[in-house]
Amino acid sequence: MAFTLAPLPYAYNALEPYIDTKTMEIHHGKHHAAYTNNLNAAIAGTDLENHSIEEILVTGFDKPAVRNNGGGYYNHNLFWSVLAPKAGGAPSGEVAEAINAAFVSYEKFKEEFTKSASTRFGSGWAWLCVHKGGKVEICSTANQDNTLMPGIGCGGFPILGLDVWEHAYYLNYQNRRPDYIAAFYNLINWVEVNKRYAQGK
Ligand code: MN
């Protein structure tokens, strides 16, 4: 059964002014669509068909087309879900406690996450992950890799991700990745991050 590109959970213009409409249209409608189609092509007729995307990221890891496009498919689904209009600011719930336990404060967490996202050379992602037991950790990965893949990043369950590929910000921010990262903190959907924390802890 083929994977499908789900519609965004909000309008293309909903994340303005932090992420512009045109970027969202191209990012979801072209980039995410391409990862989805290319993943389907890469698994068609193989024994990876009919497995969950989480299983495919592990068992298909040694196949570059599966790794790259499976990662792209999964990562963007996660990304859209952890963004929301009228969101951001300090976290709440269990995640807030876990962030304070690991980083002392939300401000310190932002510093660490910003450093991870801004020092990723070239294309990739910054992640906040949870380990079994509830401890959270920040890491970054290259290209469309993520921490569910064997031996990649901190190895936890990703609960928050930031896409730092140029396609995620270049139309509006050009070379100013730090400004895009700063804007991201106004969009974090902490309700969804708490859900993922509960799922992965
Ligand atoms: Mn992207």
Dist. CA 65–CA 44, nearest whole Å:
12
Report how far ligand 1's centroid is from the alpha carbon of 31 (Å): 7
Residue 44 — pLDDT band, cuts 50, 70, 90?
very high
Ligand 1 centroid–CA 63 distance in Å is: 20
What percentage of the chain carries pLDDT values higher than 70?
100
pLDDT digits (tens, 9 = 90+) for 1-43: 699 999 999 999 999 999 999 999 999 999 999 999 999 999 9
- Give 154 Cα–ligand 1 centroid separation in angstroms: 20
Domains of the chain in sequence order: 21-81 (1.10.287.990), 93-200 (3.55.40.20)
**35 Cα–ligand 1 center, Å:** 10
- pLDDT 10s digits, 65-97: 999 999 999 999 999 999 999 999 999 999 999
Centroid of ligand 1 to alpha carbon of 76 (angstroms): 6
Ligand 1 centroid to Cα of residue 75, in Å, is: 8
Average pLDDT over residues 170-193: 98
Residue with tokens 């290209």: 143
Place of tokens 């002014």: 17
Handedness of CA 166, 193, 59, 27 (dihedral sign): negative
136 near 159, Cβ under 8 Å? Answer: yes
What's the gap in Å between 32 CA and the centre of ligand 1?
Answer: 7
Residue 24 CA to ligand 1 centre (angstroms): 10
Ligand 1 is an ion; its neighbours by CB within 5 Å are 163, 165, 168
Model pTM above 0.85 = yes
pLDDT at 1: 65
How would you classify the pairing of strands 136-142 and 124-130? antiparallel
Is residue 144 a contact partner of residue 35, using CB atoms and an 8 Å limit?
yes
Alpha carbon of 101 to ligand 1 centroid (Å): 30
